[in-house]
A = this chain, B = another copy of it.
Amino acid sequence: MTEAADPQRCAELARDSMYLSDYASQALGIEIVAISPGRATATMTVRKDMLNGFGMCHGGLVTTLADTAFAFACNSYGETTVAAGFDAEFVQAVKLADCLTAEAIEQSRAGRLGLYDVTVRNQRGEVVAFLRGRSYRLRGKPPAGA
């Protein structure tokens, strides 16, 4: 099954393969609720063991949710792609029991580099964080072989 053959099917296979062994996302209750070429949406509900010393959701875990959406989006073409880095901005506090949705959208793909914008919203639709992810494609190995 190649990308050209059926991009949507390719994205779904990459998601299934990655999620199966993504123990970190599983442990945090992160689910991939949508996937398509260059796009992914992930959700997470804030638990007590996700709070920081100020009683808010730890920014690192909001970032982990966003990073997961980014990872599934940039691997949706079936070629092993890793995060080279990202820029995260926190614009509103996240509280216990908040239901977060992170939507990753591809902005650019050229050579081995890709750029993805992730917006994280709470259950009221308010933006709580932005993440701009930079991906680097490895030598075409399928995720399963990584």
Contact = CB atoms under 8 A, between A and B. Distances in A.
Interface of A: 17-27, 48-55, 57-61, 63-68, 71, 75, 80, 82-93, 107-108, 110-113, 115, 127, 130, 132, 134, 136, 143, 146
Contacts of A54: 18, 21, 80, 82, 143, 146
A32 to B, nearest CB: 10
- Report copies per complex: 4
Contacts of A143: 53-54
A75 B52 CA distance: 13
User: Chain A binding site: helix, strand, loop or mixed by DSSP?
Assistant: mixed
B17 A53 contact: yes
A64 B52 CA distance: 11
A17 to B, nearest CB: 7
B146 A127 contact: no
Contact of A64 (B26, B60, B83, B111): B60
Contact of A49 (B27, B59, B111): B27
